[in-house]
Amino acid sequence: MRATSWLIVLGCCCVETIALGQDAAVPASAPATTQPGITLVNLHLKQAVPEDVFFMLGKQGGIKFAPNGNVWDQEAMQVPNDVDFTNRPFWQAVHEVCGMWHVTLQNDFNSGRRLMVNAPQMSPNGQTWHALPTSESDGFVVEAVGFNQSINYGNPAGNSCGVQLRTYVDPSLRVQTFNGVAKVLEAADEAGHSMLLEHANGMFYGGGMQQRSFVFDCSVPLKYPPENAGKRIAHLKCILQLRAGDKMDSMVVEDPLKSPQVNKEFGDLRVTFRSLKKQGPSNYELKLTITHNDDDGRGGNSDWPMMQSAQLLDSMGRSFVNGGGGGGSSRNGVYNYTVNYNAPGGEDAPSGDPAKWVIELPTNTHVMRVPVEFSDLPML
């Protein structure tokens, strides 16, 4: 396996959101992004340092940009710059600001709406910063961050490769699940060889993931040309898929051991609490059904990360631990699950039986398909 990584870069005040129409039909060849709105930034600052700029950007996007260590105290962070944004998509503006001071961003998995700002990186050859190849679509910024290659000496026709993408989701959205494998529509190297896998469509919906943030990684599986391969991907066109909405609501089941069946709609998804049964001194089994109205028979594998965000709480609000479970077989978009919970030890351990079960999801959840295109990506 050979891998190449491209250095990760992101690149009076008001903020507004522009509503987008939702397509009635999404052609397989050119899907449209179906998004409630785009967060736009208006920010005009003279000779500002990055600590102040990121603070103002964070206020507009509802995100906290926190320094990783003593970033703001470093000498390079004392150099001021002018910032002049008018109706700029949020991540496009953040991308440009990161480029001004050569800083990078990373997820903070301990906080839902917080990103860490990293100091400028120094590579072994002395180069400190390179802009990444970027594709933008309706509030999404997608960066190509790396390329990997697998060579089969005994069977060159089995050679494979892939591009790693990092997607920055508009902060107006609340992502429920994000598919970790893109659907490839077009791919060719500079020599004209097709890089489409023979069963490319089978690589779509590679499993869902949920991160309580705005930054998601996924892979683009490709075929490596067996002979005379070029050194660059001349054209790459693919689709990213996620399930998201921009308004949140909670489903709360009080006294779940005695509760009857409870249903709640979250956009194109319905959650059905069926029952909670005690299985031992501190073990409980939850029966749950999730129904997808916009379902193709392969989306259920995205449900587990969503269910892991649910909480089983005692009367003091202390959490029982999700111990996994099973299920997921689909019939017309209906998925049945069993989730196990247990009481952990320690001072913060829950006491007594559960008092409530809670899950928070977007109320206008729907599938979104983001078209992405790149040209002239290096393969070495």
Same domain, yes or no: 128 and 254:
no
- Whether the per-residue pLDDT at 327 is higher than 90: the answer is no
Same domain, yes or no: 31 and 176:
yes
Structure-model confidence comparison of residues 197 and 328, the more confident one: 197
- Whether the per-residue pLDDT at 22 is higher than 50: the answer is no
The pLDDT value given to residue 124: 61
Q: What is the pLDDT of residues 242-265, one digit of tens each?
A: 888 888 889 999 999 999 999 999
Tally the domains of the chain. Answer: 2
Contact 362, 246 (CB under 8 A): yes
Of the candidates 126, 166, 185, the residue with the CA atom closest to the CA atom of residue 6: 166
Same domain, yes or no: 195 and 325:
no
- Could you tell me the residue range of the domain that residue 259 belongs to? 248-363
Q: What is the pLDDT of residues 126-182, one digit of tens each?
A: 556 778 999 998 889 999 999 998 887 887 777 889 999 999 999 888 887 788 899
Model-level pTM?
0.72
Same domain, yes or no: 176 and 127:
yes
Same domain, yes or no: 238 and 262:
no
- Whether the per-residue pLDDT at 15 is higher than 70: the answer is no
- Whether the per-residue pLDDT at 28 is higher than 80: the answer is no
- Whether the per-residue pLDDT at 234 is higher than 90: the answer is yes
End-to-end CA distance of the chain: 12
Same domain, yes or no: 204 and 276:
no
Of the candidates 15, 17, 14, the residue with the CA atom closest to the CA atom of residue 246: 17
- Whether the per-residue pLDDT at 280 is higher than 90: the answer is no
The pLDDT value given to residue 231: 93
Residue reference for tokens 């351990």: 349
The pLDDT value given to residue 88: 94
Same domain, yes or no: 233 and 253:
no
- Whether the per-residue pLDDT at 11 is higher than 90: the answer is no
Same domain, yes or no: 58 and 143:
yes
State the CATH number of the domain containing residue 333: 2.60.40
Same domain, yes or no: 256 and 168:
no
Of the candidates 365, 240, 360, 245, the residue with the CA atom closest to the CA atom of residue 295: 365
Tell me the mean pLDDT in the region 77-97.
95
The pLDDT value given to residue 107: 81
